[in-house]
Amino acid sequence: MGREAERDKAKRRHYFKRLAEGNLARFEFELEKRCSSWLQYINRDAGIISPDRPSVFSVVDEAMGILEFCGPRIFKRYAKDTYDLLITQCCLSLRGKALPHYYRDSQGRICRRAEGVDME
């Protein structure tokens, strides 16, 4: 990743931290907006395997890094839902690219849960 991209990520982290400390409603709005763009990225780039491009699962790491940077209170409040949303979308997007029986064996629970089937 280039220097400018790293600088943008750092700015984004500081922006979210500033919002989390001062304006929680705006933080939630911006997080939801950012999650939408992450979901679009995941859907677009799922299945692309290249040494020049990060895996779609790197989006999950980026999101967790931002939430962790915002502090333990914010991380505890938003991390689980954000993680579940993004990791489920990664798996669902890859489902069409991988052999279905491999996906079902290793990730069946995530797939069913994302499609609205109650697991209990």
CB count within 10 Å of CB 59 equals 21
pLDDT score for 115: 44
What residue ranges do the domains of the chain occupy?
3-114
* Greatest mean pLDDT range, 26-35, 97-106, 107-116: 26-35
CA distance 65 to 97: 27
CA distance 29 to 106: 34
pLDDT score for 44: 87
Lowest pLDDT segment from 26-35, 75-84, 93-102: 93-102
The CA angle 95-35-61, to the nearest 5 degrees, is 70
* Residue 96, phi then psi, degrees to nearest 5: -70, -20
Alpha helix segments (H runs only) across the chain = 3-22, 24-45, 58-69, 72-95, 100-114
Confidence grade of residue 98 (pLDDT, cut at 50, 70, 90):
low
Task: Specify the higher pLDDT residue, 83 or 112.
Answer: 83
Residue 119 has pLDDT above 60, yes or no: no
* Residue 52, phi then psi, degrees to nearest 5: -85, -15
Residue 69 has pLDDT above 90, yes or no: yes
**One-letter identity of residue 73:** R
Confidence grade of residue 120 (pLDDT, cut at 50, 70, 90):
very low
**Which residue in this structure is represented by tokens 């697991």?**
119
pLDDT score for 1: 60
